[in-house]
With several copies, the nearest count.
Chain A
């Protein structure tokens, strides 16, 4: 298996596990990257996908030739609308997010600390020129699920004692899913609740620069 396939499998595994966290009938906002793979793994579970540019009930990408450039998701990709979907403006869309009406956001993170505080919008030393809806989602939704590879490409820990990347806000994540493990956060404490097949707690400890309680 080459490295690329390996990364692809990792991302799929994370998306698959994240799909299990979602409840029937929930309103979900999916961030860019790994979260966009989740719909493939929902099976019979029905959830409502919320796109912050103004669509609740986002459907899959259209067939070629059926693209409407005025029917897009928050990643500016063409989408379709499912029966029962609703369309609205940006102010109401973010009122839904900020007001706690979106059940769950599944988003990527660049870093997360052992309390669940996360960084997902800016890299230290790089230009800070984009935030999009990231902070609104972190501040507003009922449940924040993070999906990310356990370490960076160069093998550095992304799960850390305290953030070195710019924080996305006070609000802590609820669940963190990597290709190696699942963590939960409660009262500023991190719990290891699952390890992937063939992964040991020692392996997790080695690749995680944060304290956590083992709660398998």
Chain B
């Protein structure tokens, strides 16, 4: 099945410019648009600010962009276990902005929902709120957090219909719907495109009005992991 929204892998780079803030879905490698990231790694786009929970693994997912030096800044919640990110930060060529995971998720959703800022109890009284505005409501302190929009959002889903409605495989959704809401340009990587009408209105998780372009993945699940198709 084809969709008007489907683009070829080589078209992806047209939508990403040097210096863009790019939202990239995924919790670990699940829900990460591995094919799209691979394509970007082949280009010379640079100075990207990547908003993603982590930065993939060395030589997997966003780890490839890191190794290439295409990332200027990473905004996310957990980089500790990614040796490459830690080294890059220590060597001074990667900026890192750390956010509590829930603040990150809510901030991305807020950007997509037209909410420029919101108050959260998370992080109040910690180093992560040191330079942020704090305010009391009913005697309790809350931190003002700004929304986190993207020039581009790169997301991963299981199936799309021709309109671009998306469904996910199990916990693959994670940040993807919020990022689809928050990206000015949204490209979704999917396993397959099914005929419109095949997805039930109630089961759609990311509605087509949030999705601009579709690409088909080159990865499949094999032996409990994601493997790039060789053919």
Chain B residues closer than 8 Å to A54, beta-carbon distance: 27, 171, 173-174
User: Which interface residue of A74, A129, A167 has the most chain B CB atoms within 10 A?
Assistant: A129
Cβ A70 vs Cβ B102 within 8 A:
no
Interface centre among A69, A97, A140 (most CB of B within 10 A): A69
> Are B161 and A169 neighbours in the complex by a CB distance under 8 Å?
no
Chain B residue nearest in CB terms to A51: B171
Residue contact A100 to B114, C-beta cutoff 8 Å:
yes
Residue of B at shortest CB range from A93? B105
A 86-121 to B, binary, CB cutoff 8 A, 1 in contact else 0: 111111011111111110000000000000000000
> Of the 9-residue stretches B15-23, B63-71, B81-89, which lies at the interface with chain A?
B81-89
User: Contacts of A194 on B, CB cut-off 8 Å?
Assistant: none
Is the CB–CB distance between A69 and B79 below 8 Å? no
Residues 124-173 of A contacting B (Cβ, < 8 Å): 127-136, 139-140, 166-171
Chain B contacts of A102 at CB under 8 A?
209
Are the C-beta atoms of A98 and B120 separated by less than 8 Å? yes
Q: Flag if A136 contacts B101 (CB, 8 Å).
A: yes
A99–B100 CB distance below 8 A:
no
B197 in complex: contacting residue of A51, A70, A84, A133, CB < 8 Å:
A84
| Cross-chain contact A131 with B98 (CB below 8 angstroms) | yes
Question: Is B13 close to A, CB under 8 A?
Answer: no
Which residues of B lie under 8 Å from residue A122 when comparing CB positions?
Answer: 127
How far apart are the CA atoms of A140 and B141 in the complex, in Å? 13
Residues 170-183 of A, flagged 1 when their CB comes within 8 A of B and 0 if not, give 11000000000000
B-contacting 9-mer, from A75-83, A184-192, A195-203 = A75-83
A124 CA to B202 CA, complexed, in Å: 42
Shortest distance between the CB of A158 and any CB in chain B (Å): 19
Residues of B in contact with A, size category: 35 or more
Indicate if B213 sits at the interface (CB-CB under 8 A): no
Contacts of A55 in B (CB 8 A): 170-171, 201
Task: Say whether A86 contacts B208, CB under 8 Å.
Answer: yes
When distances are taken between beta carbons in the complex, the residues of chain B under 8 Å from A95 are: 102, 106, 109, 112-114, 181
CB atoms of B29 and A166 under 8 A apart:
no
Task: Please name the residue on chain B nearest to A58 by beta carbon.
Answer: B171
B121: chain A residues at CB < 8 Å are 98, 139-140, 169, 171
User: A30 CA to B72 CA in the complex, in Å?
Assistant: 34
A89 to chain B minimum Cβ distance, whole angstroms, is 5
**B138 smallest CB distance to A (angstroms):** 14
- 1/0 per residue, CB under 8 A from A, across B164-180: the answer is 01001111111111100
Determine whether the beta carbon of A139 is less than 8 Å from that of B123: yes
CA A214 to CA B165, docked complex, whole Å: 43
Kindly identify, within residues 134 to 180 of chain B, every residue whose CB is under 8 Å from any CB belonging to chain A.
Answer: 141, 161-163, 165, 168-178
In the bound complex, do residue B127 and residue A166 qualify as a contact, i.e. CB atoms below 8 Å apart?
Answer: yes
Whether A89 contacts B77 in the complex (CB less than 8 A), given A84-B165, A102-B209, comes out as no
Q: B residues 112-136 with Cβ under 8 Å of A?
A: 112-115, 120-128
Given known contacts A91-B109, A98-B113, A168-B126, is B170 in contact with A129 (CB within 8 Å)? Answer: no
| Of B79, B108, B171, B172, the contact of A130 (CB 8 Å cutoff) | B79
Which of B96, B112, B196, B201 interacts with A99 by CB under 8 Å?
Answer: B112
CB A67 to nearest CB in B, in angstroms, measures: 3
Contact with B80, one of A27, A98, A130, A168 (Cβ below 8 angstroms): A130
B3 to chain A, nearest CB (A): 11
Other than the given A89-B178, A98-B115, 5 more pairs (CB < 8 A) read A53-B171, A68-B169, A84-B165, A135-B122, A169-B122
Question: Can you show 30 pairs from A to B with CB atoms below 8 A apart?
Answer: A50-B209, A52-B101, A53-B174, A54-B27, A67-B223, A68-B169, A70-B31, A70-B172, A84-B161, A86-B204, A87-B170, A87-B202, A87-B204, A89-B173, A89-B176, A89-B178, A90-B27, A90-B53, A90-B174, A96-B209, A98-B120, A129-B80, A129-B85, A129-B98, A130-B78, A131-B101, A131-B128, A135-B103, A140-B114, A169-B122
Closest 6 CB pairs of A and B: A67-B224, A94-B102, A98-B114, A130-B80, A83-B197, A95-B113
